[in-house]
Structure 1
Amino acid sequence: MIFFILLFVIFPTYGAEIEHTHSERSQHIHGSHRECPLPKQQKDIISCAIEFHPLIQQAKYTVESSKSLEGEALQLPNPEIVTRYLKGGVEGNDTAELEASLKFRLELGGKRQARVDFAKEEYELSKLSLNERQVEVKTRTIISLYRLKQIFEEKKLIIKSIGAYEDVILKFKKIPKLTAEQEASLTLFEIALEETKILLSEVFEERKRLEHFFHIATGNSLEEIEPFLPMIPQQWPAVEKQKHKDTSARILKLKSLSNSALAKMEVENSKAWPDLDIGPAYNLEKNSEGVSHEMIGVSLSLPLPLFHFNDGAKAWAKSEYLKAKKTVQLIHASESHERFEQLQVYESTVRTLKSSLSLHKIMKKHHRLEKLYSRGVVSNQAYLDSLKPKFNYIQRKNKRVMTALKSLWNIYKLDGKVMTKDIL
């Protein structure tokens, strides 16, 4: 009992931290938001994120909305009725006149077809925008699953280190009178303890960021996802040193944007042609003597393009098309270089990971050191000094693993293969 009282008096922050982390399980309330069914395998988590993430939902709404664009473009202009009634008289002779015409608009210059083509391109663009977002969400979900696995492991190591520091510090504080060397060791141990607590706080912060992502993407809690977190890859796939092709989701979307800009340019070109309003016309004239004149003919109206041929709009549409084409070329060059760089990073990191000690071997060696310490063969100083290098090595190796994973999936993204690849 005295041990626990001292522990929480000396280290109240850590106690609160542990209590806070253990209370996290009760904070996820089912039914408070939209969520996926409970996952049964890793693929369920990824499939759920691709389906439920808000960015995906927004893109799907855009696709649904774009479906109606073609129907709107196919609409024919409604006919128009024009009437005029006049009545008057001169020197007692009253006259009344009625004119009526029914006009149908004939869109010249291929306006209707140009609108339809533009609507189709906008629909294709919305689908490719959806695909781009799905690629981004799938990539982030896979990377986040790996990182979450590392965070759970790092947290266990940190808590174990904190416990080791506290045990040794408590032993030192039970000594009635410390030597100068012991005082120095105690100070160093207390500083190391506080540093380790900060590490725990940093891991907690990153964990909350990932928790927020999965909450938004799937609605599931980390406890529901934890059983399906992937293991760190033991075998890394080989990547071809191929020439970059225009198959990335981003390039495909930009090409579609270029096609849409071209279709818009055709729409503006068609507007240079006037619309012809034509239809039957009727005229009735009647005077006060009962004499009437009835006439039937054709009504026609046609705007005269005297001031412009829609040059301003055509020039703007053309500039947008040229900009879209140039953007495709620039992004192609950028992605080609990026793929080359990502491949170099991936291969270099994988070589480093293969040549370094595995986490299993590191833990095995340190476990042997712990046994020696428990037998009193190894001093407090040597044991505690081993904790920081061990954690630093594991943390740095985890970062190298994440670098390799990010580079690999970036290459898949640039090659347009993300949606066909499974988690390692």
Structure 2
Amino acid sequence: MSARLLLSLWLGMLGIPVFAQTQTQACQSLSSYKDVLRCSIQNHPSTQRSRLVLDQNQNLTGVAEQIPNPQISTQILSGKTNSDERVDYTQVNLAQPFELGGKRGSRIKKAKALVEVSEIDLQLTQEEIYLRTYLSMIRLRQISEEIEIYDDALSTFEKIQKQYRSRPRMTPEQRATYSVLDIAASDYRVRRQPLVREARVHERYLEIAVGRKLDVRRDFYPARRKDWPKISDGTEEANLKSAAIRKSQAEVAVALAELESAKSLAWPDLQIGPTFETQSQGSQRYQQLGVNISFAIPIFNLNGAGKSYANAGVSVAEATATATVREERNELNLNRQTYEEIVQLLKSTISASDLQRKHREVESSFANGIVPSSLIIEIHRQLADYTRSINEQETSAIEALAKIYSVQGRLLSEGL
């Protein structure tokens, strides 16, 4: 069974079906924003790098399981006695090293723990890419809305100025209004340009993530939420399933395996095997068969320094794991509070349809000569500022929700 298939099965058990798709399958058809999300977490260069590291580390277990090769040594001597008789001596030693003290077992444990760390690193990378891709698409929809507001304002200002220019003579008040509209239009053009550049940045990111150019309409991106999911109040251990926690626990396993390895190094390796010896002197020949045994004598050290270092590593890993659980619990509490406050705020705000209705009412009243032109400038300014503020709150709510889902271990399985 291949390493990639094993990884797919393991991730499937975690409830992450998107991982089961290959890069080609995930990017074949991009007909919705969900397709873009599935493709990006498979195709993004960061994912590919993490997957290559995992593929490399999948070989660690095989490396750790390897048994040392037998060793062969020989001695061949030839000479003459005082009576000029020829003497020949040959000795052949075959020895098999045996690793004592659990060296091989500790290597295997460490290798498996490192593979698990690599698997979790891959998930962390994909969570980061998922959120960034989702936020990029959300932001592109928001930018489109904000640019539309600026374009509508510029069009309205131009119509009013055109009406003033068509008159034979403008009153002082009309000239002042014309100048104010001119300044407001320049201000909106200045505000509009950074949005165009920001949109270009997000578009390039999506192209990198999916590996090709995306040419889509605004309604392709995630729509503005009307209903936000409810988040439970529980912060008990059962709800803390983040990849960061699992990685810290895997790093504890790595540190414990390193401690076992340090303890095992206090044991010498044993080499044992048969010895064959032949000796001839003149017409006489002797043959002998025996056993050779060799091992290091632990006189000068029992790897005490190595064990102390590994013990300290275990303490660091365990402290980090404990701190990570505490940090993730605090992160969950903080983001749940932030999320609930923003959602409550968004529910109490004016809807987009009501906002547009009020906008049309003011423009209609201006066209009928009921309200002054200053209100036209003010309604567009308020519309632009309000939309930008709502968009910022929407982004903050999505980020908080994503962090909550990440801590609970369900960001990739359930999605946003």
Task: Check 1:219–1:172 CA distance in 2 against 1; reply closer, same or farther (3 A cut).
Answer: farther
Paired position in structure 1 for 2:313: 320
Paired position in structure 2 for 1:335: 328
- Is 1:353 aligned to residue 346 of structure 2? yes
Paired position in structure 1 for 2:215: 223
SS of the equivalent of 2:37 reads: helix
Aligned-pair distance for 1:186? 3.7
Do the aligned partners of 1:38 and 1:220 also contact (CA within 8 Å) in 2?
A: no
Q: Among residues 398, 408, 411, which one is paired with 1:415 in the alignment?
A: 408
What TM-score does the superposition give when structure 2 sets the normalisation length? 0.87
What TM-score does the superposition give when structure 1 sets the normalisation length? 0.85
Q: Among residues 215, 225, 243, which one is paired with 1:233 in the alignment?
A: 225
Paired position in structure 1 for 2:63: 72
Do the aligned partners of 1:36 and 1:220 also contact (CA within 8 Å) in 2?
A: no
How much identity, in percent, do the aligned residues show?
A: 28
Task: Give distance in 2, aligned partners of 1:249 and 1:101.
Answer: 52
Do the aligned partners of 2:76 and 2:90 also contact (CA within 8 Å) in 1?
A: yes
- Is 1:307 aligned to residue 300 of structure 2? yes
Paired position in structure 1 for 2:29: 38
Task: Give distance in 2, aligned partners of 1:221 and 1:230.
Answer: 18
Paired position in structure 2 for 1:19: none
Do the aligned partners of 1:274 and 1:303 also contact (CA within 8 Å) in 2?
A: yes
Paired position in structure 1 for 2:8: none
Do the aligned partners of 2:26 and 2:38 also contact (CA within 8 Å) in 1?
A: no
Aligned-pair distance for 1:291? 2.2
Q: Where in structure 2 are there 5+ consecutive unaligned residues?
A: 1-24
Q: Among residues 241, 250, 253, which one is paired with 1:247 in the alignment?
A: 241
* Offset from partner CA, 1:249-290 (integer Å, 9 cap, x none): 111111111112211221222122111111111222223x23
Paired position in structure 1 for 2:139: 147
Task: Give distance in 2, aligned partners of 1:225 and 1:270.
Answer: 63
* Offset from partner CA, 1:378-397 (integer Å, 9 cap, x none): 43332123211111011111
Paired position in structure 1 for 2:52: 61
Aligned-pair distance for 1:103? 1.0
SS of the equivalent of 1:224 reads: coil
Aligned-pair distance for 1:240? 1.0
Q: Among residues 276, 280, 289, which one is paired with 1:286 in the alignment?
A: 280
Do the aligned partners of 1:132 and 1:253 also contact (CA within 8 Å) in 2?
A: no
Task: Give distance in 1, aligned partners of 2:42 and 2:164.
Answer: 56
Aligned-pair distance for 1:73? 1.4
Task: Give distance in 1, aligned partners of 2:216 and 2:268.
Answer: 64
Q: Which amino acid aligns with 2:243?
A: A
SS of the equivalent of 2:59 reads: helix
Q: Among residues 368, 375, 383, which one is paired with 2:361 in the alignment?
A: 368
SS of the equivalent of 2:350 reads: coil
Q: Which amino acid aligns with 2:248?
A: L
- Is 1:165 aligned to residue 162 of structure 2? no
Task: Give distance in 2, aligned partners of 1:208 and 1:308.
Answer: 64
SS of the equivalent of 1:223 reads: coil
- Is 1:399 aligned to residue 392 of structure 2? yes
Paired position in structure 2 for 1:388: 381
Task: Check 1:37–1:152 CA distance in 2 against 1; reply closer, same or farther (3 A cut).
Answer: farther
Paired position in structure 2 for 1:30: none
Higher mean C-alpha deviation, range 211-220 or range 223-232:
223-232
Aligned-pair distance for 1:37? 2.6
Task: Give distance in 2, aligned partners of 1:239 and 1:48.
Answer: 28
- Is 1:213 aligned to residue 205 of structure 2? yes
Aligned-pair distance for 1:372? 2.9
SS of the equivalent of 1:76 reads: coil
- Is 1:133 aligned to residue 139 of structure 2? no
Q: Among residues 189, 212, 215, which one is paired with 1:197 in the alignment?
A: 189
Task: Give distance in 2, aligned partners of 1:418 and 1:319.
Answer: 34
Task: Give distance in 1, aligned partners of 2:143 and 2:287.
Answer: 92
Task: Give distance in 2, aligned partners of 1:349 and 1:272.
Answer: 59
Task: Give distance in 1, aligned partners of 2:129 and 2:229.
Answer: 22
Do the aligned partners of 1:346 and 1:408 also contact (CA within 8 Å) in 2?
A: yes
Task: Give distance in 1, aligned partners of 2:123 and 2:151.
Answer: 42
Task: Check 1:135–1:35 CA distance in 2 against 1; reply closer, same or farther (3 A cut).
Answer: closer
Tell me the number of residue pairs that the alignment of Structure 1 and Structure 2 aligns: 390
Do the aligned partners of 2:362 and 2:375 also contact (CA within 8 Å) in 1?
A: no
Q: Where in structure 1 are there 5+ consecutive unaligned residues?
A: 1-33
